[in-house]
Amino acid sequence: MGLMPPASAEEQSDCVTAPVILPLLGGEGDAPLIPVKINGKPAAMYVSPAFDYIYVRNSEGIQFPKGYDDAKVVINGTYKESAFHSKINELVLDDIPLKDVDVVLLAKASTQVVDGRPIVGVLGRAALSRLAVLIDIPERQFAYLDVKDTKACKLAFKTFLGNDSHSVDMEDDFTVHIRVGEKKKRVSLDPDLTYTTFPSFWISSLKENLEGLGDQKKFTHYDDFLSVGQGALVKNLFMGGAPIENEKVVFQDEVEIGSLGLPFFTDKIIIWSLENNRMYFAIPAHMRPLSKGQGLHFFATHSGNVSVRDRRGDVQ
């Protein structure tokens, strides 16, 4: 499914417009990345509503001014990184210039590059709330969507994605509810995560729907911070009445809320609309193969397994 599918095209063109359409850069295993210009220079930025703000890092050729005030950013609920208030003089998205954009500058510089562009930051909720947003990893597209506020366009996103699409209520902090068996749980949306994570204290209530729990310990480096958890396959997982098949999850002690990571997004077309407090999603009937990526994420993660039986650790 492309950005403008043929079904009900007339209705969609009347109700839904896309003032910004950008390709997703990178390839398989990379978090969503879009091309931007920073003060006239080509760059790339991640997109994830799990971040509350716009965060940037200095990179080769692109530097950000340090503001007068410093701050601390908490990663994964535990690890803290130094940061500074900063500003982008001009941020350009699909030829639309945004002037004097407030950002948070993290102390650690970035060395990541995608398609010849330095990766300088991530667009969080502050940049993803005013219009509806589409992330279509199967077709490698990102878009801001504008919908007419008319009664005829009330079901515009449902029509846009097709009759096989689903939707779920979304809170102002971009969290949604899922159901595992008979248990309802709240999760955030974080395509920057290498995999889906749940808090370890959920295990007791979900254990009847977990497969393979305890076979391996899973350790994860978030930049310099190490987190240890347990991997499992979650059965009977539903969102918006739709089954989510074969979702692999890592249970971690340090997290307090579940997060749907990149694997959840990889095979779906997703639209979220904060104005409607709703997330919509569809799974295309056919998936085209993606070129292999570099495993790019804003917070660099490296994972590995430790077998309970032989106590050997194999870095993946």
Query: DSSP code of 262?
Result: H
Distance CA 195, CA 248 (A): 7
- Looking at the structure, do residues 310 and 166 belong to the same domain, yes or no? yes
Residue 144, in any domain of the structure: no
> pLDDT (tens digit, 9 = 90+) per residue, 46-57?
999 988 889 999
Percent share of the chain, pLDDT over 70: 84
What value does the mean pLDDT take over residues 8-33? 81
Highest mean pLDDT among 2-11, 66-75, 181-190, 206-215: 181-190
Q: Which residue has the tokens 């995608």?
A: 114
Domain count, the chain: 2
Specify the pLDDT at position 12: 47
Tokens representing 107 are: 């102390």
Q: Which residue has the tokens 């409607």?
A: 276
Residue 2, in any domain of the structure: no
Spell out the residues 6+ positions from residue 18 whose beta carbon is closer than 8 angstroms to its own. 3, 134, 143, 144, 145, 146
Between β-strands 210-211 and 313-315, what pairing exists: parallel, antiparallel or unpaired? unpaired
Residue 137, in any domain of the structure: no
The residue among 127, 161, 194 that closes a domain is: 127
- Looking at the structure, do residues 179 and 282 belong to the same domain, yes or no? yes
Are the C-beta atoms of residues 168 and 177 closer than 8 Å to each other? yes
The residue among 93, 127, 161 that closes a domain is: 127
> pLDDT (tens digit, 9 = 90+) per residue, 215-267?
666 666 555 556 677 889 999 999 999 999 888 998 988 788 899 999 999 99
Residue 55, in any domain of the structure: yes
Residue 47, in any domain of the structure: yes
Residue 176, in any domain of the structure: yes
- Looking at the structure, do residues 119 and 214 belong to the same domain, yes or no? no
CATH number of the domain that 35 lies in?
2.40.70.10
- Looking at the structure, do residues 236 and 288 belong to the same domain, yes or no? yes
- For the chain, give percent helix, strand, coil, nearest 5: 10, 50, 40
What value does the mean pLDDT take over residues 118-146? 93
- Looking at the structure, do residues 293 and 181 belong to the same domain, yes or no? yes
Domain containing residue 105? 17-127
> pLDDT (tens digit, 9 = 90+) per residue, 186-213?
999 999 988 899 999 999 999 999 998 8
Confidence of residue 75 (pLDDT cuts 50, 70, 90): low
Distance CA 197, CA 109 (A): 26
- Looking at the structure, do residues 41 and 169 belong to the same domain, yes or no? no
Residue 141, in any domain of the structure: no
Residue 53, in any domain of the structure: yes
- Looking at the structure, do residues 91 and 175 belong to the same domain, yes or no? no
